[in-house]
């Protein structure tokens, strides 16, 4: 999927939601305005990217948003102790993954990231529907937004 540089220029965070097998992308933008100070807003985009996950993936940097937009399919697995190696299992470390398929060859045209929740942070956070709970309210700037 291609978004214009004008849209991507001031993106600082993205959320990729799985909706009926496809992805919906919510981008958070921020910009310093001479009179208003820091201004933040969101844009919402329908993506032709196939979603093989439930819930959402948080994309913590603009470069990661660009990577996700290059994918044809995104696959994510929730972090569990059972998914790890014998070494991570014996230490109780949960292992998850995100895979970005960027072309037709699943081995040569993909970018795979292992997620070790609570041990090593990365530019991605996968939040499955079972782990992700909508807050009753949230804050946007100085305003409280009801859910």
- How do residues 28-74 score in pLDDT, each as one tens digit? 998 888 888 888 889 999 999 999 999 999 999 999 999 999 999 99
Strand residues in the chain grouped as ranges (E): 11-19, 22-33, 37-52, 56-59, 73-80, 95-101, 110-115, 124-127, 137-140, 143-146
Q: Is 0.85 topped by the overall pTM?
A: no
Position 116 pLDDT exceeds 80: yes
Write down the pLDDT at residue 134: 57
CA-CA distance, 121 to 129, in Å (whole number)?
20
Report the chain's mean pLDDT, rounded to a whole number.
Answer: 86
Pick 137 or 13 by higher pLDDT. Answer: 13
**Residue 64 DSSP label:** H
Confidence of residue 138 (pLDDT cuts 50, 70, 90): low
Q: What is the dihedral of CA 19, 65, 53, 111, to 10 degrees?
A: 150
Position 146 pLDDT exceeds 70: no
The whole-number average pLDDT for the span 141-147 is: 54
Write down the pLDDT at residue 143: 60
Burial 92-130 (b: 16+ CB within 10 A, else e): ebbbbbbbbbeeeeeeeebeebbbebeeeeeebbbbbee
């Amino acid at each position: 999927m291609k978004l214009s540089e004008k849209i991507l220029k001031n993106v600082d965070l993205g959320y990729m939601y799985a909706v009926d097998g496809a992805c919906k992308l919510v981008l958070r933008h921020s910009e310093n305005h001479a009179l208003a100070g820091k201004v933040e807003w969101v844009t919402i985009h329908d993506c032709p990217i196939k979603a093989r996950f439930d819930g959402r993936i948080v994309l913590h940097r603009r470069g990661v948003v660009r990577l996700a937009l290059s994918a044809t399919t995104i696959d994510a697995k929730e972090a569990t102790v059972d998914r790890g190696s014998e070494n991570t299992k014996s230490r109780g470390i949960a292992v998850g993954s995100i895979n970005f398929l960027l072309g037709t060859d699943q081995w040569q045209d993909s970018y795979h990231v292992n997620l070790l929740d609570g041990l090593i942070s990365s530019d991605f956070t996968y939040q499955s529907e079972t782990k992700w709970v909508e807050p009753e309210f949230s804050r946007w700037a100085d305003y409280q937004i009801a859910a």
